[in-house]
A and B are shown apart, each in its own frame.
Chain A
Amino acid sequence: MEFIPHTAEQREEMLEAIGLTMADLFGDIPPALMAKSFNLPQGLSEQEVRNRLAELAGKNSIDLTLFLGGGFYDHFIPSAVYSIISRSEFYTSYTPYQPEISQGTLQAIYEFQSAICRLTDMEVSNASLYDGGTAMYEAMMMALRITGRNKVIVDDSINPIYRVMIHSYTRNLQIDLAETHCVDGLANRDEILARLDDDTAAIIVQTPNFFGCIDDFTDLAEAAHKKGALLVVSCYPVSLGILKTPGAMGADIVMGEGQSLGMPMSFGGPYLGFMTSRKKYVRKMPGRVVGETLDRNDRRAFVLTLQAREQHIRREKATSNVCSNEALCALTALVYLSLLGKQGLKETAQRCADKASYAYQRLTAIPGVKPHFRAKWFFNEFVLDLPCEAADVIAKLIERGFAAGYPLSRYYEGMENSILICVTEKRTKQQIGMLAEALESVL
């Protein structure tokens, strides 16, 4: 099926108006450069394509009970979220270059920036970045720009996927990446402070970290600032319904993955990178930014602002190459936060923590199952040591209908028996009980 409206007569009429044939219209391409043929399939009708894709969707297992997180979460999504983001005035528009007819998108982005600032307790936000990993890379680059320094300290309790992304992105750049190894589930203070020097642009840490442990980086912010370095904190937005904010800790740049704010997991994307910072650094921030102003009649209006930082003006001197970002995902997050509201967000976060705590008690009561870290506070994920290889146990539990968690051996040496288990507000007491029974039976 094609989506082309012209009839044969209209096509002829138009060619006549131009005074050329269809062949003429492509006559500017040297014949040698035209493709001889394409080995592409014949088109399908809507009915055919729906059947075909339904069959492919059916080959994906979505009936597993998910205790799998690792930075990407199965939260409840209110129906109204989808109703709003399905409005085509939002999703079929583009970057709001013409503010007069883009006030919907522009005000929504301004409100998104406000919501993320409020959530993280920071002063300025951009309009979004691709995902948490690229947001971390952009935060690192921003810190290098602000300080004019060349060294970055990254603790390995951050999401290891982002750690490998940072390595990939910095390969062509002469950046000194110092990696520290977490102790007892928290960022390694001794190592970080030992590496912190006058060349350090930033310390990058995460809370709750990849192991689910809650950390307070107030001490690291102070230490960083004493050396003229910045503190970059990666965070999990839903957790900020109850947890101490990076802003209150003294962070300079806050970023994270926003998928948990109303986006389905969708096999890895589209997701939402977010970034907030201090007002004094706003001109060094990457990405689009929307600001409030007045129109000619003194009515409130919103526009893209601080564009002098951006690629379409500054070209090779831009703060980043970001152009399209994830506007519809930012809208999704804003609608999600608006629907849950002050109370709903707090209760959702509390529910996650309560259910995770209950699961932790149930699972650690199983003989041979022990917490990996010494007693520490966690949000909705925790690490357990099993009496045997975790990957093996997880495979067995898949057969029983559970995605029971993530095997940490993939990224951490000496953690062959460790499993990262996640519990969101969607999991029920009954599901947790069934997981405990299934786990006990396969050990």
Chain B
Amino acid sequence: MNLIFEKSVPGRTGVLPGPSDVPGTVNIPQSLLREQSAGMPELSELDVIRHFTELSRRNFGVDTNFYPLGSCTMKYNPKVAERIAGYPGFAHLHPLLPQLRMGGMLTQGALAILYEMDLLLREITGMAGFTMQPMAGAHGELTGMMIMAAYHREKGNKKSLVLAPDSAHGTNPASAAIAGYRVVTVPSDDRGVMDVKALKGQLSDEVAGVMLTCPNTLGLFNADIREICDLIHSVDGLAYYDGANLNAVVGKARPGDFGFDIVHLNLHKTFATPHGGGGPGAGPVGVKDKLVPYLPVSIVVKRDDGTYSLEYDRPKSIGYIAPFYGNFGIIVRAYVYILMLGGEGLRHVAETAVLNANYIRAKLRDHYKPAVDRICKHECVFSTTEEMAANGIHALDIAKALIDLGFHPPTVYFPTTVKEAMMIEPTETENKETLDAFIEAMIELAELAEKDPEKLKAAPISAPVSRPNETAAAKNLNIAYL
């Protein structure tokens, strides 16, 4: 398909501003102006609409296809949340207004949402206070690591290490590293969860904390989680909860009760805000009491007269990690979602997500190799069987063949602790008919992998393109049309 730049016709115009209503034009000296007009496309409005509509048809989304991408919680994004985030009272609100004298009074509705969201997330996670500022999960992790560092600095602790399991999301070690820590990997035991014995061996006064998801990326709940947190606390370390997998326990159990000190949530996962093709998301961070003073500035507080204001005077704070109050438009959507579901609805989310994942696990365990054959939480992980491997079939081939059957593939080759991993997260919003159709497709592909492996290796054949040459993309780098 042609690029929008290739469709450009010199001289054609699109959306122009109206004629100027002020007298004169300013003559900025030539030396401060660009030599040539910026090379933007020259197209009509319809040309542009056609181009992007055609592009959109070359995508799978949750609204078009089942999207069981493990660890990403691709649930349905309620339309009402989109509509509300677009209310002019939210969308047209300038972020600097509260910094004007009495300006806070001009944004009471927005501040109320930030304040109430803080309270709701505290209750959901068992934490004592939240910042809404982190703009994605990984941004939340970095914020959490900065809070960890501030805590240890204040206490005079000399800490240099952060522990993370071998099954951790790659963002965990990356976030700890850019916050200035050295990362030590803790292996998993034969149950698929963090090995407590190995953890004990790595404990020392140098340990600043541990980063964990629970359930982990294998979809397994670690029954030793409390003991792990206690062990970390015994060296005055902090336990960090990566909330990527909260969907499995939301409304049922709280990371704060497990012993975690810092939590980030992915509002674009558990709380149903759209993934946007890779953002914008939001990654609020919650902390226990002793860490509240370190939260970023500003924080919304409620005054005695019932009005809301922003508190900037926070001497122990880690400072500013975002220019304002985070991805407010995303926070509004998640707030709408929580209000609609309520406490009971959230509990049903976890129960149904876990039910759906176990249903798939039970139906596929005879056809693929389970990474760990026991009850899972929100997702289950399989590998290709030895028979498939003997036929040269990889997880990637199963994934690509699913596309031809109308399904978005699961996450493949993650977690890296499982060979040929296929990580399936159905979420609670999928109906039984869809799950059955997916299961049937997976079984069909398992059979095909033994009978007609070449057919799998050719997949996909129905997508807009077949498998792209990724090696050539990196070698003959072409990342802009200039």
Please report the C-alpha to C-alpha distance between residue A310 and residue B64 in the assembled complex, in whole angstroms.
29
Q: With A50-B84, A242-B34 as given contacts, are A324 and B275 in contact (CB-CB < 8 Å)?
A: yes
CB of B470 within 8 A of CB of A305, answer yes
Instruction: Please give the distance in Å from A75's CB to the nearest CB on chain B.
Output: 10
CB of A103 within 8 A of CB of B55, answer yes
**Contact check: which of A28, A104, A245 meets B374 at CB < 8 Å?**
A28
Contacts of A109 in B (CB 8 A): 277
Instruction: Please give the distance in Å from B39's CB to the nearest CB on chain A.
Output: 4
CB of B345 within 8 A of CB of A60, answer no
CB of B61 within 8 A of CB of A89, answer yes
- CB contacts under 8 Å to A, within B375-398, are 375, 377
CB of A294 within 8 A of CB of B469, answer yes
Please report the C-alpha to C-alpha distance between residue A101 and residue B330 in the assembled complex, in whole angstroms.
25
Instruction: Please give the distance in Å from B257's CB to the nearest CB on chain A.
Output: 6
Please report the C-alpha to C-alpha distance between residue A113 and residue B322 in the assembled complex, in whole angstroms.
24
**Contact check: which of B31, B278, B320 meets A94 at CB < 8 Å?**
B278
Asked if A226 is at the interface (CB within 8 A of a chain B CB), the reply is no
Most A CB within 10 A of own CB, among B78, B319, B348, B468: B468
Contacts of B277 in A (CB 8 A): 90-91, 93-96, 102, 105, 108-109, 327-328, 331
Asked if A44 is at the interface (CB within 8 A of a chain B CB), the reply is yes
CB of A266 within 8 A of CB of B329, answer yes
Please report the C-alpha to C-alpha distance between residue A125 and residue B478 in the assembled complex, in whole angstroms.
11
Interface size class of A (residues with CB under 8 A): 35 or more
CB of B89 within 8 A of CB of A56, answer yes
CB of B97 within 8 A of CB of A56, answer no
- CB contacts under 8 Å to B, within A187-204, are none
Asked if B450 is at the interface (CB within 8 A of a chain A CB), the reply is no
Asked if A269 is at the interface (CB within 8 A of a chain B CB), the reply is yes
Nearest opposing residue in chain B for A430, CB measure:
B21
Please report the C-alpha to C-alpha distance between residue A322 and residue B272 in the assembled complex, in whole angstroms.
21
Asked if A244 is at the interface (CB within 8 A of a chain B CB), the reply is yes
- Residue-wise, chain B 346-363 has the 8 Å CB interface mask toward A (1 for contact) of 111101101110110111
Contacts of B341 in A (CB 8 A): 1-2, 43
- Residue-wise, chain A 243-257 has the 8 Å CB interface mask toward B (1 for contact) of 111001000000000
Asked if A228 is at the interface (CB within 8 A of a chain B CB), the reply is no
CB of B124 within 8 A of CB of A329, answer no
Please report the C-alpha to C-alpha distance between residue A23 and residue B325 in the assembled complex, in whole angstroms.
40
Nearest opposing residue in chain B for A73, CB measure:
B94
- CB contacts under 8 Å to B, within A152-185, are 161-162, 164-165, 167-169, 171-173
**Contact check: which of B15, B175, B482 meets A339 at CB < 8 Å?**
B15
Most A CB within 10 A of own CB, among B58, B319, B400: B58
Most B CB within 10 A of own CB, among A40, A294, A343: A40
**Contact check: which of A4, A44, A91 meets B77 at CB < 8 Å?**
A91
Asked if A386 is at the interface (CB within 8 A of a chain B CB), the reply is no
CB of B400 within 8 A of CB of A131, answer no
Asked if A395 is at the interface (CB within 8 A of a chain B CB), the reply is yes
Please report the C-alpha to C-alpha distance between residue A125 and residue B480 in the assembled complex, in whole angstroms.
8
Contacts of A28 in B (CB 8 A): 220-221, 223, 374-375, 377
Instruction: Please give the distance in Å from A257's CB to the nearest CB on chain B.
Output: 8
Asked if B42 is at the interface (CB within 8 A of a chain A CB), the reply is yes
Please report the C-alpha to C-alpha distance between residue A293 and residue B469 in the assembled complex, in whole angstroms.
6
Contacts of B349 in A (CB 8 A): 2, 4
Please report the C-alpha to C-alpha distance between residue A277 and residue B358 in the assembled complex, in whole angstroms.
47
Asked if B235 is at the interface (CB within 8 A of a chain A CB), the reply is no
CB of A244 within 8 A of CB of B31, answer yes
Instruction: Please give the distance in Å from A10's CB to the nearest CB on chain B.
Output: 5
Asked if B72 is at the interface (CB within 8 A of a chain A CB), the reply is yes
- Residue-wise, chain B 11-45 has the 8 Å CB interface mask toward A (1 for contact) of 01111110011111110110111110111111101
Having A5-B432, A133-B323, A324-B281, one finds 16 other A-B pairs with CB under 8 Å, namely A49-B339, A61-B107, A94-B275, A95-B278, A130-B279, A265-B95, A267-B107, A267-B329, A301-B465, A318-B177, A338-B40, A343-B14, A344-B13, A344-B15, A346-B37, A355-B22
Nearest first, the 7 closest Cβ-Cβ pairs linking A and B are: A57-B89, A168-B319, A268-B324, A40-B343, A43-B342, A328-B276, A59-B109
30 contacts between A and B (CB under 8 A): A1-B340, A1-B345, A18-B355, A18-B361, A20-B375, A29-B221, A42-B342, A55-B109, A60-B108, A62-B89, A86-B82, A101-B408, A103-B464, A103-B465, A107-B1, A134-B139, A171-B150, A270-B280, A294-B469, A295-B467, A299-B466, A324-B275, A325-B136, A341-B40, A342-B39, A344-B16, A344-B17, A353-B25, A357-B24, A430-B21
